[in-house]
Chains A and B, each alone.
Chain A
């Protein structure tokens, strides 16, 4: 079976750095940045993009709705 692939994008300027997405990710894809955004918060980045399956777990728990999830559709 081909691996399901996806990726996430963040509206970095809206992020408040709560890190809940990092905890929610079942595949250890995300990590916090070492830089800060305009509000002074660190924000998440994709550390291991190849492990992302586009499962939307991070986006579901994000309180500020900063995450957009993309997924490559599986062929039927």
Chain B
């Protein structure tokens, strides 16, 4: 039996249906420039929702990276700066030191944070700046056409390693998040994903924690978000999320890597 959808919606509205989920005001009406199915959109939404829920929209400054998210400030309805390639955490350091009462975050991809900006990232974490870093790891340089990144998996084909990543020639996947967890300047380090609704909920909690930690002034909070790049991986969005679950998550297991010690 076919149900008239429009009539069904009207009936439910008459029964008092309320909006339980809608687009946050911290995202502009500009449509995302990302490919259909890209995890950047979910990451943007989660960060903006957390900022709205904490009521810190006027007190937050974001730093956009170079990469697919280079024009992220077009989508965020908050103050934002766009930094040179890999230098988002250094720019965020400057903003936080001059405006210590503001909430500052750097939003970076894996080519930005783990390749070109390795030095800046390591030293920002080593100095223990009170910023949040959101690290979007899709194992590839998405914007420039799917070149191999330091985070690419062994055997993973890309446009600069068409036969797959060969460790003899290209080295091993770099898990910078695990390395940074050993630095005393980092306070909270976790790895999350946005491929399923359950993971999205966990990821949002981690992002919230990263912003809450800034009030404590204890050091860097870094949330790595493992996501897909369906265009770079040459898959549909659904295939990419399946591939992510089967391959990426064994190399980059989800969960907290460094959690603050509670004083009990």
Contact = CB atoms under 8 A, between A and B. Distances in A.
Nearest to A49: B8
Contacts of A72: 12, 15-18
Contacts of B18: 70-73
B36 A18 contact: yes
Interface of A (DSSP majority class):
mixed
Interface residues on B, range: 35 or more
Contacts, number: 110
A5 B42 CA distance: 25
B45 interface: yes
Contacts of A64: 31-32, 34, 36, 41
B21 A17 contact: no
Interface stretch (B84-92, B172-180, B233-241, B251-259): B233-241
Interface string B30-42: 0110111111111
A5 B12 contact: yes
Interface stretch (B148-156, B159-167, B192-200): B192-200
A33 B69 CA distance: 30
A59 to B, nearest CB: 4
A57 to B, nearest CB: 4
B21 A69 contact: yes
Interface residues on A, range: 35 or more
A18 B76 CA distance: 22
Contact of A20 (B22, B40, B238): B238
Interface string A9-40: 10000101111100110000000000000000
B9 interface: yes
Given A60-B200, A65-B23, A65-B27, A70 B17 contact: yes
9 contacts: A20-B241, A50-B8, A59-B21, A61-B194, A63-B39, A63-B40, A63-B41, A65-B45, A69-B20
